[in-house]
């Protein structure tokens, strides 16, 4: 920084030792922090490398026939011979079963969503097996975890036979450049080495188009735009409804999530997944508004909100619960409930007449019992899972075919994937009267999932306006968002 003061260099007569002493002291003070910081970064890299090694080891375990055999669920509980449980879908093959079970084991241990854990295991195996030079450099602290993530982004889906040459070419760059700079260099180098043209790769990339809704904090969410959570959710729900309406001849989702769509020429048949259709609806609404074909006209998104009665009456600041999201501010909760065409009281006491058990009379729970468990659970009760209860299935914790009753204390929401995991793997579950679900993993660890609203069974002493009593409202959101 320029100042009017002479520097020690410009000041004749100053002792030569004055500057070196000050510089040394400053240098030493900063180096005392920077040197350990560099050392710390090296250690963190080494720790990341070790975690990748462990996860890759787990991945290898999941390929061993003896381990896979140990991961299979109890043959009775899988329900293979029971007509009431065939809805879990066809059994996963060995690879799928092992990957999902081990991912859930990691998800429980590290408090992650099982999809995140599965991705971590996949990436770790990719790093250790396909990018050994990068794994070694990470273990030695020569590159950071951020560099490895860039390399994984660049190489995911790249042909395995170009990876050794790519690694050798770009590793020296990773040791010198920032992760972002390195990512650009690596992408350029891969493009040079790639046997498939960029055009063909772009065509494949386009098939992966999709819309993602991501909850955030403070009542907000990302629909790749930062929006109020209820608006983001209603917008996403509208995209789902539009996507479903895109093909009149469509008979809902085909088993593989594919559907037919008449092409431009009329004769050609175009196949699109639900992900692709949601993305197309998003694109068309964004680029063209309501298109000539009337895309989205009259279709509205729906959100579900649970509001404590006293909040609704303006006598409490207790937050409302937006399904699939969590607490939202009382003002928004009141606004949503105020515009709802239909309310369901949560059945928290006997006067409401909620049936809490039908014992062994019926496998399928009656509607009010379903709503009770929906409001109690809010989401799938799988380890680390956030899928909404309304998009999940109701599972008998003690299986129906083993004498389990149809009662709120034995029913819990599980999404299709978690439901299948429970039945087909050696994970087991136990349920408490409040709805808490304890999962015991193949390694013997137990993880308990508490329900969002542990309302429990009713007691006769609960007053009608008890704060635990709530209303659940579904508001149809008027387009556009
Ligand atoms: Zn789930």
The one-digit pLDDT tens for each residue of the chain (481 residues) are 333 444 444 444 444 555 555 678 888 999 999 999 999 999 999 999 999 999 999 999 999 999 988 888 776 555 544 444 445 556 678 888 899 999 999 999 999 998 899 999 999 999 999 999 999 999 999 999 999 999 999 998 889 999 999 999 999 999 999 999 999 899 889 988 988 887 788 888 889 999 999 888 888 899 888 999 888 988 898 888 888 887 644 433 343 344 444 333 344 445 788 888 889 888 888 877 664 456 666 666 667 777 776 777 777 777 777 776 777 788 887 777 776 655 544 433 333 445 566 666 778 888 878 888 888 888 899 998 888 888 899 999 998 888 888 888 899 999 989 998 998 888 999 999 888 999 999 999 999 998 887 765 544 333 333 334 455 555 444 433 3
Q: How far is the CA of 111 from the centre of ligand 1 (A)?
A: 14
Q: Which residue, of 255, 288, 321, is where some domain finishes?
A: 288
64 and 86 inside one domain = yes
Same domain, 224 and 185: no
Question: How much distance in Å is there from the Cα of 383 to the middle of ligand 1?
Answer: 7
Grouping H, G, I as helix, E, B as strand and the rest as coil, residue 217 is coil
Residue 7 falls inside a structural domain: no
And the tokens for 377? 């659970």
Whether 191 and 83 share a structural domain: yes
Give 102 Cα–ligand 1 centroid separation in angstroms: 15
In a domain, 462, yes or no: no
| Whether residues 143 and 256 fall in one domain | no
Q: What is the DSSP string of 239-301?
A: HHHHHHHS-TT--S--TTSEEEEE-TTSSSEEEEEHHHHHHHHHHHHHHHSS-TT-TTTT--E
User: Measured in angstroms, how far is the CA atom of residue 416 from the centroid of ligand 1?
Assistant: 7
Within-domain flag for 49: yes
Q: Tell me: do 36 and 180 sit in the same domain.
A: yes
Phi, psi of 326 (to 5 degrees): 130, -155
203, with CB counted inside 10 A (0-12, 13-18, 19+), is exposed
Angle between helices 114-130 and 18-61 (to 10 degrees): 100
Quote the ligand 1 centre to 330 CA distance (angstroms).
28
Based on the fold, state whether residues 229 and 91 are members of the same structural domain: no
Q: Please tell me the distance between residue 25's alpha carbon and the centre of ligand 1 in angstroms.
A: 58
Cα–ligand 1 centroid distance for 189 (angstroms) = 40
- Of 391, 273, 384, residue with least CA distance to 323: 391
pLDDT at residue number 435: 87
Identify whether residues 218 and 278 lie together within a single domain.
yes
Question: Does residue 44 lie within any of the structural domains?
Answer: yes
Whether 342 is covered by a domain: the verdict is no
User: If you measure from the C-alpha of residue 263 to the centroid of ligand 1, how many angstroms do you get, rounded to a whole number?
Assistant: 35
Are 128 and 244 found together in one domain?
A: no
Report DSSP letters for 151-214, one per residue: HHHHHTTS-GGGHHHHHHHHHHHHTTS-HHHHHHHHHHHHHHH-SS-HHHHHHHHHHT-----E
* Structural domain of 282: 214-288
The answer to whether residue 173 sits within a structural domain is yes
pLDDT at 464: 32
Query: How far, in Å, from the CA of 362 to the mean position of ligand 1?
Result: 24
For ligand 1, the distance from its centroid to the CA atom of residue 324, given in whole angstroms, is 12
CA of 328 to the centre of ligand 1 (A): 23
Closest to 313 (Cα-Cα) out of 474, 471, 156, 149 = 471
Question: Angle, to 10 degrees, between the axis of helix 163-174 and the axis of helix 145-155?
Answer: 150
CA 298 / ligand 1 centre spacing (Å): 31
Are 146 and 196 within one domain? yes
Q: Last residue of some domain: 187, 207, 227?
A: 207
Counting the structural domains of the chain, the total is 2
Same domain, 148 and 252: no
Give distance in angstroms: CA of 138 to centre of ligand 1.
Answer: 34
283 contact partners, CB below 8 Å, separation of at least 6: none
> Is residue 470 one of the residues assigned to a domain?
no
The helix (run of H) or strand (run of E) holding residue 307 is strand 301-308
pLDDT of residue 116: 93
Q: Please tell me what DSSP assigns to residue 407.
A: B
The span from the CA of 50 to the CA of 171, in Å, is: 19
394 Cα: distance to centroid of ligand 1 (angstroms): 11
Q: Are 413 and 374 in contact (CB under 8 A)?
A: yes
Report the b/e string of 364-390 with b at 16+ CB within 10 A. ebeebbbbbbbbbbbbbbbbbbebbbb
Distance 103 CA to ligand 1 centre (A): 13
Which of the listed residues 253, 288, 323 is the one where a domain comes to its end? 288
Measured in Å, residue 413 CA sits from the centre of ligand 1 at 8
Ligand 1 centroid from CA 157, angstroms = 27
Report how far ligand 1's centroid is from the alpha carbon of 448 (Å): 14
Query: Are 98 and 237 within one domain?
Result: no
Looking at the structure, tell me whether residues 144 and 236 fall in a common domain.
Answer: no
Residue 126 lies in a domain: yes
What is the value of pTM for the model shown? 0.63
**Residue 379 CA, ligand 1 centroid: distance in Å:** 8
Cα–Cα dist 307/314, whole Å: 11
């Amino acid at each position: 920084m320029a100042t009017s003061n002479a520097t020690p260099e410009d000041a004749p007569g100053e002792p030569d030792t004055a500057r070196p002493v000050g510089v040394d002291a400053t240098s030493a003070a900063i180096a005392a922090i920077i040197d350990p910081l560099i050392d710390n970064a090296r250690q963190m890299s080494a720790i990341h490398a070790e975690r990748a090694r462990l996860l890759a080891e787990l991945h290898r375990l999941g390929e061993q026939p003896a381990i896979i055999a140990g991961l299979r669920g109890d043959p009775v509980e899988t329900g293979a011979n029971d007509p009431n449980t065939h809805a879990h879908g066809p059994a996963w093959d060995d690879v799928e079963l092992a990957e999902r079970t081990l991912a859930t084991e990691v998800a429980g241990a590290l408090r992650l969503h099982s999809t995140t854990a599965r991705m971590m295991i996949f990436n770790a195996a990719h790093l250790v097996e396909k990018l050994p030079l990068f794994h070694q450099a990470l273990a030695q602290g020569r590159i950071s975890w951020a560099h490895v993530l860039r390399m994984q982004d660049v190489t995911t889906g790249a042909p395995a036979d170009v990876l050794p040459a790519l690694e050798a070419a770009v590793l020296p760059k990773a040791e010198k450049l920032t992760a972002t700079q390195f990512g650009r260099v690596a992408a350029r180098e891969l493009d040079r080495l790639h046997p498939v043209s960029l055009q063909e790769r772009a065509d494949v990339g386009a098939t992966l188009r999709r819309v993602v809704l991501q909850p955030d904090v403070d009542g907000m969410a990302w629909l790749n735009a930062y929006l109020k959570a209820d608006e983001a959710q209603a917008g996403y729900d509208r995209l789902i409804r539009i996507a479903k309406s895109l093909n009149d001849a469509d008979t809902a989702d085909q088993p593989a999530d594919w559907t037919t769509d008449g092409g431009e020429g009329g004769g050609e048949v175009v196949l699109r997944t639900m992900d692709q259709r949601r993305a197309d609806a998003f694109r068309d609404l964004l680029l063209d508004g309501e298109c000539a074909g009337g895309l989205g006209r009259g279709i509205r998104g729906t959100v579900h909100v649970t509001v404590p009665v006293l909040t609704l009456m303006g006598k409490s600041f207790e937050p409302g619960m937006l399904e699939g999201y969590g607490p939202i501010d009382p003002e928004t909760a009141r606004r949503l409930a105020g515009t709802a065409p239909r309310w369901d009281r949560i059945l928290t006491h006997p006067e409401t007449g909620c049936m809490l058990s039908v014992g062994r009379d019926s496998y399928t729970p009656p509607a009010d019992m379903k709503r009770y468990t929906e409001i109690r659970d809010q989401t799938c009760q799988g380890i680390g899972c956030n899928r909404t209860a309304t998009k999940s299935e109701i599972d008998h914790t003690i299986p129906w075919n083993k004498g389990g009753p149809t009662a709120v204390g034995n029913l819990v929401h599980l999404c299709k994937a978690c439901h299948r995991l429970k039945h087909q793997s050696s994970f087991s579950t136990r349920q408490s009267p409040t709805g808490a679900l304890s999962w015991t993993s193949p390694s013997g660890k137990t993880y308990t999932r508490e329900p969002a609203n542990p309302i429990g069974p009713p007691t006769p002493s609960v007053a009608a306006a008890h704060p635990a009593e709530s209303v659940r409202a579904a508001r149809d959101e008027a387009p556009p968002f």
